[in-house]
Amino acid sequence: MPIILSDKSTDNLAPKAGVIRHVLVVDDSRLQRKLLTLALKHWGFDVAEAASGEEALEKAAVQRPDLVLSDWMMPGMSGLDLCRHFRKNDGDDYTYFILLTSKSEKEEVALGLDTGADDFLIKPVDNNELRARITAGGRLIEMQRSMAESNRVLSETLGELQQLYDNIDSDLKEAKKLQQSLVRERFRALSVGDLSLMLRSSGHVGGDLVGFFEAGADHIGLYALDVSGHGISSALMTARLAGYLSSAAPDQNVALRKASNGLFVPRSPEEVVADLNDLVLDEMETEHYFTLLLAYVELKTGNMVLSQAGHPHPAIQRADGTIEQIGTGGFPVGLLSGIQFDRFELCLDPGDRILILSDGVTECPRPEGDMLGEEGLAALMQELGNVRGPAFLDAMIRRLIEFNGSADFPDDVSAILFEYQGLAAT
């Protein structure tokens, strides 16, 4: 069936030079190939010819065409089979595929589209229609290549972001190790009882910190603090605060003073908290504040002197299992100047223990949203009444995971457990 060339000149109607430059014409009829080639070259395209599907694949392997015009019915490999081969090897360089056919039934057209053909031309081919289809194909190829380039740039950007994330993640893991190292000892057996500490950040690093320090021959100091917010800036502030309550450098510990005999002894806890409040407001350029509980234990008697600055109430579990949660509440450190901080006292008898913890415990939520609260904490302590030392803190974490439904807590969790046994009878 002959191909119809328009009688009118198509010089001014030729497709503009664009993404389609190289065209492969595939037809077992030499005459029809030449007629198509003549029109395409007249429009300025670089044209190659193939008499079969097999020859077309050989030429495409040397130079991949932007457009294929292929007869549907050919001996050996059909136009549909040729189209399948192109679609299997399509990458970023998409080839627009037009089938030339005398078939006009909807079923045949649907089959061609399912195979991967982009368009059809019914033979005999009209040059004006061919020109329009090539122009439309050029627009689609241009969009496809633009998307491919955008995807390439996006992929490179994502790769760079992933590398950046990996570097940050690596740094945060190291920062976590450093922050965890601030709690030098997680357990110490004292002559009058056992001291256990736990620090668990909700992310890589957090704003909680717990610790203890020797405060003379007869006292030990305990502190638990919770810096506002989460992440790196909160962690940096906890690291700085750890220096002000250092166990390794008593001369730099603001909670200690040097007595006339040259030994370090505890200062009044409420004065220490007030000094920290002034220090944060006057010397630290930060918008962070923190809650704090500072306590001293007189080892021989079990008497404790405490100052509470917005931190949760400590929970005392007496030897008979009863729970007491006491404290003055107080105002967080680093919010307002001129705040007066109070002190209160309590006494531990042999067999009693005190739990000082962050609000990440009492404010740990269920999936439904309600929190553990002070009542839930009391119930948890009674349930674990016979569990001692670090095992108690580990069991508490397991109960919180069960309560929360996940090990990913929304806030940092930290605690100090001091179990008082008193001086051994002599």
Structure tokens at 147: 């998307």
The pLDDT value given to residue 105:
67
Q: Could you tell me the pLDDT band of residue 141, with boundaries at 50, 70 and 90?
A: confident
Pairing mode, strands 264-266 and 256-258: antiparallel
Q: Give the integer Cα–Cα distance in Å for 366 and 373.
A: 11
Yes or no: say if 391 and 376 are a contact pair by the CB < 8 Å rule: no
Mean pLDDT across the stretch 201-222?
90
The pLDDT value given to residue 331:
94
The CA angle 234-240-245, to the nearest 5 degrees, is: 120
Out of 3.40.50.800, 3.40.50.300, 3.30.2020.10, 3.60.40.10, the CATH code matching 182-420 is: 3.60.40.10
The pLDDT value given to residue 245:
94
Domains 11-150 and 182-420 in one fold:
no
Out of 3.30.1490.20, 3.40.50.2300, 3.30.70.141, 3.30.1490.190, the CATH code matching 11-150 is: 3.40.50.2300
Structure tokens at 55: 């020859």
pLDDT digits (tens, 9 = 90+) for 147-199: 888 888 888 898 888 888 888 777 777 777 777 777 888 999 999 999 999 99
pLDDT digits (tens, 9 = 90+) for 268-281: 999 999 999 999 99
Q: Looking at 146-155, 337-346, 405-414, which range is the least confident one?
A: 146-155
In the sheet that holds 290-298, the strands lie side by side as 208-214, 219-227, 290-298, 303-309, 344-347
The dihedral built from the CA positions of residue 6, 7, 12 and 17, taken in this order, carries a sign that is positive
Mean pLDDT across the stretch 204-216?
90
Domain boundaries defined on the chain: 11-150, 182-420
Q: Give the integer Cα–Cα distance in Å for 32 and 71.
A: 10
Q: Could you tell me the pLDDT band of residue 3, with boundaries at 50, 70 and 90?
A: very low
The pLDDT value given to residue 375:
95
Q: Looking at 51-60, 161-170, 250-259, which range is the least confident one?
A: 161-170
pTM, 2 dp: 0.67
Whether the pLDDT of residue 346 is over 90: the answer is: yes
Whether the pLDDT of residue 28 is over 50: the answer is: yes
Q: Looking at 54-68, 78-92, 187-201, which range is the least confident one?
A: 78-92
Secondary structure (H, E, C), 335-353 = CCCCCCCCCEEEECCCCCE
> Please, is 342 exposed, middle or buried when counting C-beta atoms within 10 Å of its C-beta (0-12, 13-18, 19+)?
middle
